[in-house]
Structures are given as C-alpha cells and as structure tokens.
C-alpha cells in the first residue's frame, strides 16, 4: 500500500498545515498558497531553505522542517473504514506492507499519527530503503520486509500511475490504481484493477479467488 494520498489524504493535510502555519507566523495571505505549492508534490528539509528566504522566516531550515514534521503529522488521519480493511486483509491471510517515497522522519511521523503502524506487517520508506518508487529495488525491499520475493501473487495499491502502478508492474507485482474517480490517462501502462477508493481496492483484493486463506 502506498501512503500519501492512498492511505492518508496528504494533499488536504498540507493545505491545512500551510494555512495554520501562515496564521501562526502572521505571514502575508499569499504565503499559505506559496507553502502549499512548494510542498505539494514532495517536501524535503531542503525545501525549507528556499521557503525561509522567500517568506522571510527567522528559523533555520532544520527548525522549519521539524515544525512541518510535527505539524503535518498532527493533520493526517486514516479513515477507520480503511484501518478495518487492513485488519480484514490480514485476517484473510494477506501480509500488508506500506511502501512510501519520502524522508524517513516525516513518513514515520504520519504513519504513527494516523494509527497505521498497528494495522500493517511492514513499512518501507524510500530514504531509509535507499530506493524510491518506481525503482524496482524499492518494491523488492518492501516485499522482502513482508517476507516474500515480488511475484504475481503480490499486489500494489496506490494513487500514482507512474511510481505506484508503473513501478510495481515493472517489479512483477499486480496493481490496483486508486483513482478517486478519475479516468486512467497514462499511455503505455495499464493497472490490473481500478478502484475509486482504497477501501474499494481492499474489498477487491478480499474478493479475489486466490485469497491466501
Ligand atoms: Mg501516493
């Protein structure tokens, strides 16, 4: 399972954090949007080097990153209907792992704050794993932490057509694209299944004839 915008809604959390941060620091109204834009696709400690200059912030980039890690984690939740499905999958014999691109501290803070760690068997974060999706090595590492080699009995569930679906296909996994109702629009790649939500994706997996148990 992918984390950002699959198990949790990172996009909304970033927007909410940026709004709060801007108000707390008495920044100009445009600052919240500038923060959201900079952090939308990917956030790293270095991202705050540029932002502290642009926004005239006194703290160091490291201090701002720490504020972001704590603040964003406080904004993320995982719906109970998703957590229940993770439990159902494991009860049905599936081994459930999270494979996520990002810095270890922020990804682990979000996993903890959203209560996901108690509902999965393994976690693989790109920074500590030394490989980012769509690199097949990221999928191999995640699979091995789940106790398997990647093979066609394994599935990847994620929202990103390239990193999640393309990467997993290349690594030999089957795929469920979490579409949020969008149409598939990435030529040359095809997910094995499309589900509007991660709960629907889990229900699809639970209904497969090859359910492990
Ligand atoms: Mg994602």
Q: Are 165 and 177 in contact (CB under 8 A)?
A: yes
C-alpha 19 – ligand 1 centre gap (Å): 22
pLDDT of 176-193, one tens digit each? 999 999 999 999 999 999
User: What's the pTM value of the predicted model, to 2 decimals?
Assistant: 0.95
Q: In this predicted structure, what is the pLDDT of residue 213?
A: 60
C-alpha 27 – ligand 1 centre gap (Å): 29
C-alpha 91 – ligand 1 centre gap (Å): 25
Q: Are 4 and 106 in contact (CB under 8 A)?
A: no
C-alpha 26 – ligand 1 centre gap (Å): 31
- Per residue in 63-86, is it b (16+ CB within 10 Å) or e — as a string? ebbbbbbebbbebbbbeeebbebb
pLDDT of 151-166, one tens digit each? 778 999 999 999 999 9
Cis bond before residue 136 (omega within 30° of 0): no
Q: Are strands 97-100 and 174-178 parallel, antiparallel or unpaired?
A: unpaired
Q: Which residue has 């996994």 as its token pair? A: 173
C-alpha 104 – ligand 1 centre gap (Å): 15
Q: Show the domains of the chain with their CATH numbers.
A: 10-75 (no CATH), 80-206 (3.40.50.1000)
Residue 11 structure tokens: 């996009």
User: What does the pLDDT average to over 55-80?
Assistant: 96
C-alpha 160 – ligand 1 centre gap (Å): 5
Alpha carbons within 13 angstroms on the beta-carbon side of residue 19 total 7
C-alpha 170 – ligand 1 centre gap (Å): 18
C-alpha 40 – ligand 1 centre gap (Å): 11
pLDDT of 72-101, one tens digit each? 999 999 999 999 999 999 999 999 999 999
C-alpha 28 – ligand 1 centre gap (Å): 30
C-alpha 56 – ligand 1 centre gap (Å): 31
State the greatest distance between any 2 C-alpha atoms of the chain, in Å, as a whole number: 58
């Amino acid at each position: 399972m992918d984390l950002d915008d699959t198990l949790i809604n990172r996009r909304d959390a970033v927007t909410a954090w940026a709004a709060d941060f801007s108000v707390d620091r008495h920044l100009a109204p445009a600052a919240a949007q500038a923060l959201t834009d900079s952090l939308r696709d990917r956030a790293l400690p270095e991202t705050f080097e540029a932002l502290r200059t642009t926004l005239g912030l006194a703290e160091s980039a490291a201090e701002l990153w720490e504020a972001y890690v704590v603040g964003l984690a406080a904004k993320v939740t995982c719906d109970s209907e998703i957590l229940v499905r993770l439990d159902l999958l494991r009860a049905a014999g599936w081994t459930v792992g999270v494979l996520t691109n990002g810095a270890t501290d922020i990804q682990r803070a979000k996993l903890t704050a959203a209560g996901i760690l108690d509902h999965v068997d393994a976690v693989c974060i790109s920074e500590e794993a030394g490989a980012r999706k769509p690199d097949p090595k990221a999928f191999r590492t995640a699979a091995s932490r789940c106790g398997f080699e990647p093979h066609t009995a394994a599935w990847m569930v994620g929202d990103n057509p390239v990193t999640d679906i393309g990467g997993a296909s290349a690594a030999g996994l089957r795929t469920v694209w979490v579409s949020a109702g969008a149409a598939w629009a990435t030529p040359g790649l095809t997910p094995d299944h499309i589900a509007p939500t991660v709960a629907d994706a889990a229900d699809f997996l639970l209904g497969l004839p090859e359910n492990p148990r």
